[in-house]
Amino acid sequence: MSEGIRNILNKVKSGEISVDEALLDLKKAPFEDIGYAKVDLHRRIRQGTAEVIFGAGKTTEQIIGVSSVMLKNGQKTILITHLSEDSASEMAKVCELTYFKQARLGLIGAMPEKDGNGKILVATGGTSDIPVAEEAALTAEAFGNEVVRLYDVGVAGLHRLLSHMDELMSANVIISIAGMEGALASVIGGLVDCPVIAVPTSIGYGASFGGVSALLSMLNSCSSGVAVVNIDNGFGAGFLASRINHMEVKNENTVL
């Protein structure tokens, strides 16, 4: 899609078409209506990243239909979140799909080259948090980021986290994922100088209320620089981390 727009702009530059003709071309087909879905073809233009397919609640045929439209319009890498194993098996028969079972994530096409400004570190409190962490890590990688994984470094054994200070301090963004009381994000937030994205998980005993306890702990963190996404939202954390890791200075003359 971005290559098509570049071609239009080059035609304007060379005088091959007028500005009005280019504007008309750009207005054409901002989305494609296939009945059960309106596939957003201009999202990359608006947001810099293409649409991601949320697999839960969709039939296999619907996911194939949406991804086919995206492929037809030049999308090289397609991310499908919350994709069931059954749907993935069916899709693999008709397209080149890589399925990451633990993260419930499908990928059509290859991982892009890494073009982020630095490294994204993904840390978990425990091994039980890894499925959410893998969704976050793979999402970040699918958007062109180098990811460092640091699993099972929760506050029940703080020395495990502190033994990785070099990795923590060299990260550009950190995603902190934890259930139970969700204390890991506050600890990391108090150690580093980069943004920390906290992800509460639904891991925990009865009084954790399916992740609500961790969510409230993270929202009430006294560490500055900690932002929180929703319970088990690994994709949201990975996407936000990628956006931060691709930020550039928009106005070099801005006075801080």
Q: What is the mean pLDDT of the chain?
A: 88
pLDDT digits (tens, 9 = 90+) for 112-147: 889 889 999 999 999 999 999 999 999 999 999 999
Calpha distance 152→64 (Å, rounded): 36
pTM comes to 0.83
Share of the chain above pLDDT 90, in %: 59
pLDDT in tens, 204-225: 898 889 999 999 999 999 999 9
pLDDT greater than 70 at residue 64? yes
Domains of the chain: 31-108 (no CATH), 119-245 (3.40.50.1970)
pLDDT band at 2, cuts 50/70/90? low
Higher-pLDDT residue of 196 and 28 is: 196
Q: 105 pLDDT exceeds 70?
A: yes
